[in-house]
Chain A
């Protein structure tokens, strides 16, 4: 505590008067500062360009050379624009066009920048200047006058006195933006029920599983062990809302050794001879989960690394997701093609508030 004795300020928070606080002079809690005196500005040091006229000449020469170089850069960029056409669609031509116009521009920019800064540093008068600071707050007179003006305005308008007028004004101002806000309701369609839409996909009884993106139907015999097929519902490509539908209906089809699958009661008929179909849409925030490892039977989401175990009905074994990927019940139709038994039994994709 040896230093406290010599500290210049002893004021503590509770000592500081209201005046100090309002004038912005209160230090709040006690402050220890050094009492060593400010030595003032050090003597000015001359630059080599101040002392040696030759150096100044040299600096001048490099500055104007740089400005000229900048002009050369601009001309280079113009020339590159003309000299490297890209209209024939050659990728390497686009590369050259981009690079040489860029180099020209960069040269033009660096020329100006380096020259200006060098000029400022080496040739412009370099004695530092001093600005005085004044408190940010207005002077007492100014503040008094400001208060007075408000007071006069209040008197003349009766803003404080005529409370009925004032309050109705405030009410009107508050009410006015509301219609404007409500107009934005139009951003979402009026005739859609989000919960209903999020709860159903294109899959229905008998819908064939088809390849993404070609739409070719898939036979059970096509799906060999270790395969992963990216699947969309039959007819998706013909729909005008195919993106919205695909965002819910995308499915990954895999075939495992039937003995490896641990199937919970009630789901025995959802797979076909080791062929299982799961929603590709992550139950976390909706990225496509499609990194299938055929030996470990893990499904990994590349966005946030949620890992699902296909063997155990896609339960989560790592990452931020909670729910297993929904399973699409599938079977085989008369011609041997894989078809859906029904829609998913739960909403696919990320959780939402109304989901139960």
Chain B
């Protein structure tokens, strides 16, 4: 996977102005003004051949819904300003290309190799800049887990559950489970707000905050509950079902044995 060198996400007051100017110049639309984040975009060193390969892949797999020039169609939103991060997340987790229209795009095995995903991302980013794929240094799960946990509870737990076990949204949508999700994808999801997830730009959760949240989630994966099996981390419902089925079940089994006549 070709690494992109990029500037750190330091916000310079002028960067916003420049970005807005670029965004307006590219699209002329108001939408991009807000959906492209204030993050400074990456200075790419991706080769033209990679972008060309991405363009071919895009035309073959994505353009039907998202339009030949990313402008969107009734079947799929515009991809102007979504950036490489969104592409890497959506395609890298198998959500795109979508198998069928539903309440939301479902996660499934990825259909592309890492190189192909990188090419697609590079192509989309080359047409219209947006959030870039995060820097490896932020994905090491080596931050402050306590800060991450607190931010997770405030910003994420209402949908994803405090343990990242996922939860229900309206009209058949849901917030997915976060266990086993790659740090890159967690970061990109926060940065780009895929589907109905809100965007958490760097003014809301700084890159370090995002790193801390990843640190917390990875801490949970590395440290299973000291109390034993977590029953899906679903909380009291799972515990109640367990006690009724297995707890009482075992006790009733013992009761039947106890009161049965001995041979």
In the complex, A touching B (Cβ < 8 A): yes
A254 at the B interface (CB under 8 A): yes
With A227-B198, A300-B169 already in contact, the answer to whether A291 and B159 are too (CB < 8 A) is yes
Residue B232, interface by CB 8 Å: no
Q: What mask results when residues 284 to 326 of chain A are scored 1 for a CB within 8 Å of chain B, else 0?
A: 0000101111111010101000010000000000100000000
Cβ 8 A contact of A224, one of B38, B151, B171: B38
Given A224-B34, A224-B35, A298-B170, residue A95 in contact with residue B226 (CB < 8 A) = yes
Contact indicator A226/B16 (Cβ below 8 Å): no
CB pair A307–B198 under 8 Å, yes or no, is no
Shortest beta-carbon contacts, A-B, top 6: A225-B34, A222-B203, A228-B198, A293-B196, A94-B226, A226-B199
Q: Is A47 at the interface (CB under 8 A from chain B)?
A: yes
Known A221-B16, A295-B195; contact A121-B158, beta-carbon cutoff 8 A: no
Write out the residue numbers on chain A whose beta carbons fall within 8 Å of the beta carbon of B150. Answer: 213
Residue A95 contacts which of B195, B224, B263 (CB distance < 8 angstroms)?
A: B224
B169 touches A293 (CB 8 A): yes
Given A292-B198, A298-B171, 20 further pairs, Cβ under 8 A: A45-B261, A47-B263, A91-B226, A95-B225, A95-B228, A98-B226, A221-B16, A222-B38, A223-B204, A224-B34, A224-B36, A224-B199, A224-B201, A227-B193, A228-B155, A229-B204, A274-B34, A296-B170, A302-B158, A302-B167
Closest B residue to A99 by beta carbon equals B228
Residues in B neighbouring A295, C-beta threshold 8 A: 195-196
> CB within 8 Å of B: which residues of A?
45, 47-49, 91-92, 94-95, 98-99, 117, 121-122, 126, 211-213, 218-219, 221-230, 254-255, 257, 274, 288, 290-296, 298, 300, 302, 307, 318
Q: Name the A residues within 8 Å of B261 (CB-CB).
A: 45, 47, 126
Q: In the bound complex, what is the Cα–Cα distance between A122 and B257 (angstroms)?
A: 12
Nearest chain-B residue to A300 (Cβ)? B170
Interface string of B133-162 (1 = CB under 8 A from A): 000000000000000001100110011000
Q: A121-B262, A221-B16 are in contact. Are A227 and B200 (CB under 8 A)?
A: yes
B 224-238 to A, binary, CB cutoff 8 A, 1 in contact else 0: 111110000000000
Interface check B223, CB cutoff 8 A: yes
Q: Which of chain A's residues has its CB closest to B227's CB?
A: A98
